Structure 1
Amino acid sequence: MSQHEVVLLLGSNLGDRKKNLEQALEKIKSKGNEILKISEFLTSEPIEFVSSNIFCNIASIIRTHLSPIQFLDFVKSIENEMGRISDSKVSGSYSDRIIDIDIVSYDNLNFVSERLEIPHKKHLFEREFSRVLLKDFIYKT
């Protein structure tokens, strides 16, 4: 069974934000995925929507045997299990959320489908907090 390295960005702006991020990582790990690296926590303002709730974010490198779509389904199930109500890809807009898990890269794969685009261009090129979190991850994995 081949192993793949996946770079994730996780964010939360509701409830105990750090605990939400730690719980999501534990859920990822509990299904046989290996956590190779975790960044420091970083706070950021909401992007592309207005809220008084500040985000707490982390980046992580995961080793998995799941395919990109299988891994997407897996992290979406964690979001749902933790109480995330709406998905911005489905609703077309952003809102406060207990957990958000984005796949930034998967090995060196370029992949585009209706549900998933790898690499995640907004996180790599447009969002400052992402660049800060990912600076040691993308080019040094």
Structure 2
Amino acid sequence: MSQHKVVLLLGSNIGDKKNNIEIALEKVSSIGSILKYSEYLTSEAVNFVSSNNFCNIATIIFTHFSPIQLLNYIKKIEIEMGRINDSTVSGVYTDRIIDIDIVKYDDLKFTSERLEIPHKKHLFEREFSKILLKDFI
């Protein structure tokens, strides 16, 4: 089984945001080894109005999971932590206890209804993402 290098972005804008991210990272570490973290970055909500700023972090992990297995596991983490609305399903962005996005998976280019790798919005459109990912991509 080969290891895959994956870049993830995590964000939270409800409750103890840093703690939410730390809990999510601990859960992610059960399916791969975490190589590197960025610093935390605070940002305003993107694509919706909220009075709650986000706390964000980028990380690199190594995992044996395929992209879809990883996505399924990430969605499970989000639900376990209390995330109710998934913008990929509802089409609407809302406040969330945790959000985990797969930004890059090796050098794979992959598109499905549920997943796009690389995650073009984070790589090219969102300023906070560009700052967090500058040393990761």
Q: TM-score, normalised by structure 2?
A: 0.99
Paired letter, 1:137? F
What secondary structure sits across from 1:36 in the alignment? strand
Paired letter, 1:102? D
Aligned match of 2:21: 21
Aligned match of 2:10: 10
Paired letter, 1:129? F
Q: CA deviation at 1:104?
A: 0.2
Paired letter, 1:10? L
The superposition leaves residues 28-48 of structure 1 with CA deviations (integer Å, 9 ceiling, x where unpaired) of: 1123x1000010000000000
Distance in structure 2 (CA, Å) of the matches to 1:60 and 1:103? 10
Gaps of 5+ in 2: none
Pairs within 5 Å for 1:41-80: 41-80=40-79
Q: How many residue pairs are counted as aligned between the two chains?
A: 137
Distance in structure 2 (CA, Å) of the matches to 1:28 and 1:122? 22
Paired letter, 1:24? A
Q: Give the percent of matched residue pairs that are identical in Structure 1 and Structure 2.
A: 74
Aligned match of 1:123: 122
Where has structure 1 moved over 3 Å in runs of 4 or more? none
Give yes or no for the alignment of 1:101 onto 2:118: no
Distance in structure 1 (CA, Å) of the matches to 2:92 and 2:124? 20
Q: CA deviation at 1:73?
A: 0.2
The superposition leaves residues 53-76 of structure 1 with CA deviations (integer Å, 9 ceiling, x where unpaired) of: 000000000100000000000000
Q: CA deviation at 1:99?
A: 0.1
Distance in structure 2 (CA, Å) of the matches to 1:117 and 1:5? 16
What secondary structure sits across from 2:5 in the alignment? strand
RMSD across aligned C-alpha pairs, in angstroms?
A: 0.5
The superposition leaves residues 101-132 of structure 1 with CA deviations (integer Å, 9 ceiling, x where unpaired) of: 00000000000011000000000000000000
